[in-house]
Amino acid sequence: MGQAERSDYRLKRYESNETGAAYVRVSTNDQTELSPAAQVREIMKAAKADGIIIPKEYIFIEERGVSGRRADNRKEFQRMISIAKSQPSPFQYLYLWKFSRFARNQEESTFYKSVLRKKCGVTIKSVSEPIMEGMFGRLIESIIEWFDEYYSFNLSGEVTRGMTEKALREGYQTTPCLGYTARGGGKPFLIQEEEYKIVEFIHQSYHNGMDLSSIAREANERGYLTKRGNSFDRRSIERILTNQFYNGIVIWKDISFHGSHEVRSSVTSVFHDNQSRLQREFRPRNRRESSDCRHWASGLLTCGYCGASLGCNRAGKTNLKNGYFQCWRYAKGTHSQSCSITVSKAETLILESLKNVLDFGEQECEYKKKPDLIKDDEAEKNKAARLRNAAKLARIKEAYEKGIDSIEEYKCSKERLESERMELDRQYNDIKRKLVDNVGKKNSRQLFKIKSAYEILSDPDTDNTIKGTALRTIVKRIVYDKERNTVRFFYY
C-alpha cells in the first residue's frame, strides 16, 4: 500500500470514529482514588482502544471534593447533561473511571442514565468496572449502584460517629473562629494575633456602649475583615459576641467542654457582661406576612449612595407616618453613609414629583432597547428596499463607466431607479410619522397611568398594598439623594 493510500485509509478511519465524552469526579474521602489527571489518562487510553475520539471540550472535570450524593450541586455534571440533550447529541459515548463517579445516589443515577441512554442515545462505560452488554450487564450495574449508595450512607454515619467520639475525648475539630488557627490532630487551637485584635476590639467596644451596627461600621472603616474575608455587619458582630469559644468553652453539636486553648482577659473579663446586655436589648420583632406591604414605597426607594433598598422602620408603637426609611446596608453596618428620610417627607417628595410630571407632561424614562424580534416590520422592509435600490444605482453607473451600457440605457435605468427611490422615501416618511404617533399615544397612556397612580396615592383611605401595586405599575425604582434632598424616578 502506497503512502497516499495509507493516508487516505487513516483519514477514512478517523472520520468513521464516533465521538465520546469523559466525566471525572474525585472524592476527598477515598484515599485510594486516582487523581483527575490519572482518571483522564486511563479514560483516554480506553477510548482509543475502542476507536472513540474524546475532544478536550467534552472532558468534564468536577472540582475536587464535590459530593456525588446530589446532582444539582455538580456544575460540570449538569453542563455535561445539558450538552448531551442537544439534538442530536454531540457525543455518543460517556466514559467514567467508576460508576460511582457518575452518582452515589441510585435514584438520581437511574434517572440520568435513562436520560442519556434513551433520549440522547449515549452509551455509558466504566473503565475500571467493565460489564457485558444486555440485561445481565444492567443487573450487575444496578448492584454496583446499590453498593455505592450503601457505601455513601455508611461513610456518612462513620464520619459522624468518629467526630462524636473525638468531641467526647475533648478533641478540636470545628473550623477555627476569628482569632484562632488550627494545629491539626485534634490539638487546641492557637491564637492568631492580628485576628485576635479584632475580637478584642469588638468585645471591648460593645462593653463600652457601642451598638452592633456602629461596631460593624467602625470595623469596616478600619479595614477589618471576617474569617472568610468579608466585611462586617450586625449579624457577624453578634456571632463573635455570643461565641462561647472566646470564653473557653468548645461546643460541637450538643457536646461541650472546657477547652485548653488560650483565652485572654481582655475578652473573658467582659464576656458575661456582654451576654447580659445582649439579652436585655433583645427585642423580638413583630412578624408579618411576607406579602404585607409595610409602606407603599417599600422596595422602590433606594439609597443614593450605594443603591441598596431603603427599609421602612416604625418608630416604636406610634403611627407609621412617624417612622422613617433607612438604607439597609447602613442599618447592618456595612457602609458608613446614612441615607435616612422620614416617611412623611418621602411621601411628600414622591407625590410632588408625580404632580410635576402631570403638570408639565414630561418624564425621564429608563430606555431599554427592544430585541430585534419585535422591531417594526414595515420599517425594516423599507430599509432593506432602499439599500437594494442604492446598490442597483451603483451597479448601473459602474456598467456605464465600463462601457457595458450606452448613455441612453443608463439614463433610462437611472430614471426608473430614482423614481423607485422617491417612492421608498415617501413610504419611509409615512412609517416614521406613524411611529412618532405611536410614541405619542404611548406617552399619553403613560401619563394616564401616572394620573391614576397619583390619585390612588393621594387617597388616605386606600391601604398600602393597593397603593404599592399602583406605584409599581409605572415606576421601576426611586433613588433618594439625601445631599440634594431630591428623588429621581425611573419609569417603565
Per-residue model confidence (pLDDT) at position 67 = 63
* Cβ pair 310, 347 in contact under 8 A: no
Domain assignment present for residue 447? The answer is no
262 located within any domain: yes
> Is the domain of 150 the same as that of 186?
no
pLDDT value for 4: 45
| Residue 365: band (very low, low, confident or very high) from pLDDT cuts 50, 70, 90 | very low
Q: Is residue 41 part of a domain?
A: yes
| pLDDT at residue 462 is higher than 90 | no
The CATH number linked to 129 is: 3.40.50.1390
Give the max Cα distance, the chain.
108
488 lies in some domain: no
Same-domain pairing of 187 and 150: no
| Number of domains composing the chain | 2
Do 260 and 149 reside in the same domain of the chain?
no
Categorize the per-residue pLDDT at 206 as very low, low, confident or very high, splitting at 50, 70 and 90: very high
- If asked whether residues 187 and 242 sit together in one domain, one would say yes
Q: Are 232 and 224 in contact (CB under 8 A)?
A: yes
- Cα separation, 2 vs 145, in Å, equals 51
Q: Which one-letter DSSP state was computed for residue 485?
A: T
Q: Which pLDDT score, from 0 to 100, does residue 1 have?
A: 44
Same domain, 184 and 145: no
Q: Which residue has the higher pLDDT, 240 or 387?
A: 240
Pick the residue with more confidence: 134 or 59? 59
Domain final residue pick, 231, 250, 281: 281
State whether 123 and 250 are in the same domain: no
pLDDT of residue 316: 55
d(CA 231, CA 216): 8
Supply the CATH number for residue 271's domain: 3.90.1750.20
Domain range holding 41?
A: 3-155
pTM, two decimal places: 0.49
Q: Are residues 143 and 197 in the same domain?
A: no
Single out the catalytic residue among 27, 100, 205, 231. Answer: 27
Q: Mean pLDDT across the stretch 32-47?
A: 84
Residue 75 lies in a domain: yes
Q: Distance (Å, rounded) from C-alpha 13 to C-alpha 416?
A: 60
Quickly state the pLDDT bin for 201 (edges 50, 70, 90): very high
Cell of 339: 441615607
- DSSP β-bridge partners for residue 303: 480
* Span 374-396, average pLDDT: 78
Which range, 69-73, 168-172, 224-228, 305-309, is most confident?
A: 224-228
Cα–Cα distance for residue pair 323/310, rounded to 1 Å: 12
What's the order of all strands across the beta sheet hosting 324-327? 310-313, 324-327, 341-342
**In a shared domain, residues 188 and 150:** no
SS (H, E, C) 366-379: CCCCCCHHHCCHHH
Q: State the virtual CA torsion across 71, 74, 75, 80 in degrees, nearest 10.
A: -60
Query: Phi and psi of 93, rounded to 5°?
Result: -135, 145
Mean pLDDT rounded to a whole number for the chain: 78
Separation of alpha carbons 379 and 153, rounded Å? 64
Q: Is cis: bond before 284, omega within 30 of 0?
A: no
In a domain, 82, yes or no: yes
- Give the per-residue pLDDT at 6: 43
Yes or no: say if 54 and 22 are a contact pair by the CB < 8 Å rule.
yes
Question: Do 145 and 110 form a contact (C-beta atoms < 8 A)?
Answer: yes
Do 105 and 194 fall into the same domain? no
> What percent of the chain lies above the pLDDT cut of 70?
75
Is 27 designated active site?
A: yes
Residues 67 and 132 in one domain: yes
The per-residue pLDDT for range 262-276, each reduced to its tens digit, is: 999 999 999 999 999
**Residue 120 belongs to some domain of the structure:** yes
Helix or strand or coil: residue 101? helix
Cell numbers 405611536: residue: 438
The pLDDT tens digits for 405-436 are: 788 888 888 888 888 888 888 888 777 777 65
Residue 19 has pLDDT above 60, yes or no: yes
- State mean pLDDT over 445-461: 78
Q: In terms of Cα–Cα distance, which of 346, 345, 311, 314 is closest to 331?
A: 311
- What the block records as the C-alpha cell of 160 is 459522624
The answer to whether residues 113 and 213 belong to one domain is no
Q: For 302-306, 329-333, 346-350, 366-370, which range has the lowest pLDDT when averaged over its residues?
A: 366-370
142 contacts: CB under 8 Å, gap ≥ 6: 106
Grid cell 446598490 is found at 391
**Confidence (pLDDT) at 151:** 58
Question: Are residue 18 and residue 145 in the same domain, yes or no?
Answer: yes
Domain termination site, one of 120, 155, 190: 155
Question: Which of 302, 299, 305, 297 has the alpha carbon at shortest distance from 338?
Answer: 305
Does 218 fall in a domain?
yes
> What is the number of H-type helices and E-type strands within the chain?
15, 15
Q: First-to-last CA distance in the chain?
A: 74
Q: What's the whole-number mean pLDDT along residues 444-462?
A: 78
Beta carbons of 341 and 310 less than 8 angstroms apart: yes
Choose the final residue of a domain: 259, 281, 303: 281
